Amino acid sequence: MTSHAPVSVAIVGGGPVGLCLAMDLAWRGIDVTVLEQRAAGEPPSVKCNHVSARTMEIFRRLGFVRDVREAGLPADYPNDVVIRTRATGYELARIPIPCRRDRYTSRQGPDTGWPTPEPPHRINQIFFEPILFRHAVQMPKLTVINRARVEGVEQNDAAVRADAVEIDTGRRFSIECRYLIGCDGGRSGIRRGIGAKLEGDEVIQRVQSSYIRAPSLLARVTQPHAWMSYLYNPQRAGNLVAIDGEERWLIHNYLLPHEQDFEAVDRDACIRSLLGVGADFQYQLLAKEDWIGRRLVANFLRDRRVFICGDASHLWVPYAGYGMNAGIADAMNLSWQLAAHLNGWAPEGILDAYQRERLPITDQVSRFAMKHAEGAIHERTHLPPELEQNTPAGAAARAQVGRASYELNVQQFACAGLNFGYYYDASPIIAYDAEQQPRYTMHDYTPSTVPGCRTPHLWLADGRSLYDAMGADYTLLRFDASVGVEPIERAARERRLPLNVLDVVPREPQSEYRHKLLLSRPDQHVAWRGDALPADSRELVDRVRGAA
């Protein structure tokens, strides 16, 4: 067995979560190695299609958001969500979502005008993951070892050793690190290795999914195009996603409760029925992507020097398209805390915050997705039999189902709350005050500076995004330049905590910023706020660096 040179952090799994974690760590100056069993740049399977605004903000900070924005569907292909009886059938409702050409400018639609420099993006994982990979391998301090499978992990008080095998040669090697993070997906061996268990609901929905090539489908659809189509008819319900806006599609067939075996259900007949096409319709099955919708969250996220992150620690039905986005939020939380410790300005105690902050929020998001799944399953299993009739009763049924479906689904496709509204309310490294954070919901977002919330975004008078101006580390936002901040600058210097003071001149008046000072964390969450520094700035600095 050969040994690779030791690194500070090793990450098992180079999916979207592992790559984002690695890039953020490297950006913060930490040497990191990713071990991934797939080949270099090999696309994943065709799953995730929604990159949230919050994730796009992170891509912006890491410097490759434009590449992601410019990939995927053609620039003018509508990103709308529609509810139809069949792909070529009646349209019941339409949720307008701007195409990517108009994404930054359009004000038409329920997910526009959000307080962010980066609106959401509809793009399949097969297109954006290779972009993440290309960017990652160019970063100094970041190494990706492809075609390597980690088979075991051992840890002691000082270090972790991962034992791996080169898949193509069978050669075994090991790599030592100070911390190891399992971003190795739903079947995570690292999760099993640390003894964590997924708990929750094992089966919510079985879905027979097919990735198909059907060059003639677009021409058969008479309604304006859409990115995602819910297909509801009294026989069967499904969902169709445009992958390249030309000929590739992902079609989900929601199996009925008695259909337990994916292979026992006639895939071809279901696809034709959901599309509303006959035997003459030609298509090619590119891949079977069958999956089970679950709601499972790990009972813990860390054993001493080993952490789990992303799908390794949670799995849920992809309503609101949030599995990966939540995983990337995990990664951004863990990354700055690890970097703070490894860069020498925070004690190891800061790492306790990861589980304390992420586990409660993960549980909540999993329940949002589950609740939405229950609503959607009820909706599609209680459709009026006359839905497809060309009669006044049929038209009335379509109008009623369309209205109800719009109301239900706009919550998941315009989920501002899910994007920006999550907060940490029981963290050891946040200095709370008496005010309660606004309620966390899937749809609604109330910007707030209550400690624990996402630092509300604003545009500066000089035209920059606040987030672009904040930098990588702690930022003290000062809204009144006459307020003295020298004591906290001194305290930060003493503790080697990197602190940037930013005098904020907003482009427009901001009602949510009611205090003259706000301390924003490296992950853009509020750590403290006030009209003047506290009596003891050293105590505040120690709290936010995990040394209180």
Ligand X SMILES: Cc1cc2nc3c(=O)[nH]c(=O)nc-3n(C[C@H](O)[C@H](O)[C@H](O)COP(=O)(O)OP(=O)(O)OC[C@H]3O[C@@H](n4cnc5c(N)ncnc54)[C@H](O)[C@@H]3O)c2cc1C
Q: Which residues bind ligand X (CB under 6 A)?
A: 12-18, 35-38, 44, 47-50, 125, 149-150, 183-185, 189, 291, 310-311, 318, 321-325, 327
Smallest gap from Cβ 125 to ligand X, in A, equals: 6
For ligand X, the closer of residues 282 and 299 by Cβ is: 299
User: Considering the complex, what minimum distance in angstroms separates the CB of residue 278 from ligand X?
Assistant: 27
Cα–Cα distance, 460 to 229 (Å, whole number):
39
Looking at residue 124, the DSSP 8-state letter turns out to be -
> Which residue, 182 or 451, is less far from ligand X as judged by CB?
182
Whichever of 87 and 183 has its CB closer to ligand X, that residue is 183
- Closest approach of ligand X to the CB of residue 307, in Å: 13
Q: Are strands 148-155 and 198-213 parallel, antiparallel or unpaired?
A: unpaired
Residues sharing a CB contact under 8 Å with residue 507, sequence separation 6 or more, in sequence order: 458, 459, 460, 461, 463
Residue type, 236: R
Are 133 and 14 in contact, with CB atoms under 8 Å apart?
yes
Nearer to ligand X, 126 or 477 (CB): 126
Nearer to ligand X, 240 or 533 (CB): 240
Q: Which is nearer to ligand X, 380 or 529 (CB)?
A: 380
CB of 230 to ligand X, least distance (A): 14
- Angle ∠(356,445,514) on CA atoms, nearest 5: 85
Calpha distance 55→328 (Å, rounded): 7
Query: Which residue's Cβ lies closest to ligand X?
Result: 15
Q: How far is 432 from 528, CA to CA, in rounded Å? A: 7
CA distance linking residue 438 with residue 70, whole number of Å: 35
Residue 496 burial (10 A CB sphere; 0-12, 13-18, 19+): exposed
Give me the least distance between CB of 143 and ligand X, in Å please. 14
What is d(CA 66, CA 60) in angstroms, rounded to the nearest whole number?
8
CB of 27 to ligand X, least distance (A): 18
Nearest residue (CB) to ligand X, 188 versus 233: 188
Q: Whole-number minimum distance, CB 213 to ligand X, in Å?
A: 18
Question: Strand (E) positions, 101-219?
Answer: 121-122, 142-145, 148-155, 160-166, 172-182, 198-213
Rounded to whole angstroms, how far apart are CA atoms 11 and 27?
15
Q: Tell me the closest approach of the beta carbon of residue 53 to ligand X, in angstroms.
A: 12
Contact 373, 442 (CB under 8 A): no
Q: Which one, 445 or 479, has the nearer CB to ligand X?
A: 445
Closest to ligand X by CB, 289 vs 503, is 289
Question: Is the Cβ of residue 85 or residue 362 nearer to ligand X in the bound state?
Answer: 362
The least CB distance from residue 206 to ligand X, in Å, is 12
- CA distance linking residue 226 with residue 78, whole number of Å: 5
What is the sign of the dihedral through the CA atoms of 209, 213, 215 and 216? negative
State which residue, 3 or 391, has the beta carbon closest to ligand X.
3
**Both structure tokens of 460:** 């500066």
Question: Could you tell me the smallest distance in angstroms from the CB atom of residue 310 to ligand X?
Answer: 3
Give the pairing type, strands 499-503 and 474-478: parallel
| Strands 517-520, 526-530: pairing kind | antiparallel
Minimum CB–partner distance for residue 235 and ligand X (Å): 22
Contact 24, 332 (CB under 8 A): yes
- The three-class DSSP label of residue 431 is coil
State the maximum Cα–Cα separation within the chain, in Å, rounded to a whole number: 78
